[in-house]
Amino acid sequence: MREAAGRMTAVVVDDEAPARALLREYLGVRPDVAIVGECANGFEAVKTIAEAKPDVVFLDVQMPKLNGFEVLELLDPGPVVVFCTAYDEYALKAFEVHAVDYLLKPFGRERLAEALARVRARLQEGAAAPPGPKPADLATTARPPGRWVERLLVKDGAHVHIIPVEKLDFLEAQDDYVALHAEERTWLKTQPLAELTAGLDPARFVRIHRSYVLNVERLSKLELYAKDSRVAILKSGKQLPVSRAGYARLRELM
């Protein structure tokens, strides 16, 4: 939150110590900015940003475990984001997720001052600012172009779980959540099923029912249950309903 003195609060996220030191040095001499957190990886970033609720986050893109876009996906909309990276290929994606600026390493004091001016302008716009991007947009943005989502991220309190898609058995819609079933466990993710499914490889994940998306590799057999209604039996023995449209989609894939 904004300090009483009107200083904007900032969190610096970069896995490289020299890069953090540089921002610390640049920002340290500015009377209008207070660094309230430094993180060396995505996990720390998710926790620190959720707790400190800074005005602005200086975010590296390529980091171990979670990249910068994945960190954003796991955050409630809030902080203004300035990406700092040596890679220019993420610039477009960065602006798609409403980043206020994109600093290319190496950058100097003047360039950072420009970015801070933009941050201030965005903060002053306040409520008039465009609504933040939806998590699903972030999820699509975070994945490499032309590829399907390779893993799903679930935030469980301060913990972040990474679930590779090949470990998923099926997905189940539950009100505002999607229940992810994998390795005999269930995780809840706040996102509509359709949005989540849009990023998954359609050759592997099929919507067999209004409320179910199945990893076809887990399918053992299909049984006729009643006229026009089938049931999918998974290798684990679990049974899932298959709608008529779902059956047609499965047939198309097989």
Partner 1 sequence: MHPLVRTPQRLALYFGAWIVVGLLIALIFVLTWGIDFLRALAATEPLALAYGVVCLSALWVSRTLPLDRTPLLKLLSGWLGAAVQASAVWVAIGTLWSVLLARSDVIHASRAELLVGLSVLFVIGVPLYFASLVIHYLLLTFEASREAERRVLETEVTAREAEVRALRAQLHPHFLFNSLNSINALVGSDPEGARRMCESLGDFLRRTLALGARDGVPLAEELALVDQYFAIERVRFGERLTVERYIETGAERCVVPPLLLQPLVENAIKHGIADRLEGGTIRLAAVVVDGALRLSVENDVDEDARSRPGEGVGLQNVRRRLDALSARETRLDTRREGGCFRVTLTLPARPAQGGRAHA
Burial group, residue 40, by CB count within 10 angstroms (0-12, 13-18, 19+): middle
Nearer to partner 1, 32 or 166 (CB): 166
Nearer to partner 1, 23 or 240 (CB): 23
- Name the minimum Å distance from CB 132 to partner 1: 26
Q: Between the CA of residue 55 and those of 1, 32, 43, 181, 193, what are the distances in Å?
A: 6, 12, 19, 36, 31
Burial group, residue 156, by CB count within 10 angstroms (0-12, 13-18, 19+): exposed
Compute the distance between CA of residue 115 and CA of residue 127 in angstroms, rounded to an integer: 20
Binding footprint of partner 1 on the chain (CB under 8 A)? 15-19, 21-22, 25, 40-41, 43, 62, 64-65, 86-87, 104-108, 150-151, 162, 164, 166
Instruction: Extract the tokens encoding 224.
Output: 């006729």
- Name the minimum Å distance from CB 243 to partner 1: 32
Q: Which helix (H) or strand (E) holds 46?
A: helix 42-52
User: In 10 A of CB 155, how many CB atoms?
Assistant: 19
Whether residue 202 has a cis bond before it, omega within 30° of 0: no
- At 82, the amino acid letter reads V
- Name the minimum Å distance from CB 205 to partner 1: 16
Nearer to partner 1, 77 or 108 (CB): 108
- Name the minimum Å distance from CB 64 to partner 1: 5
Nearer to partner 1, 44 or 55 (CB): 44
Nearer to partner 1, 153 or 232 (CB): 153
Compute the distance between CA of residue 71 and CA of residue 17 in angstroms, rounded to an integer: 19
Q: Which helix (H) or strand (E) holds 116?
A: helix 109-125
Nearer to partner 1, 120 or 161 (CB): 161
Residue among 217, 211, 246 nearest 234 (CA):
217
Nearer to partner 1, 107 or 177 (CB): 107
- Name the minimum Å distance from CB 72 to partner 1: 18
- Name the minimum Å distance from CB 171 to partner 1: 20
Compute the distance between CA of residue 59 and CA of residue 83 in angstroms, rounded to an integer: 5
- Name the minimum Å distance from CB 184 to partner 1: 18
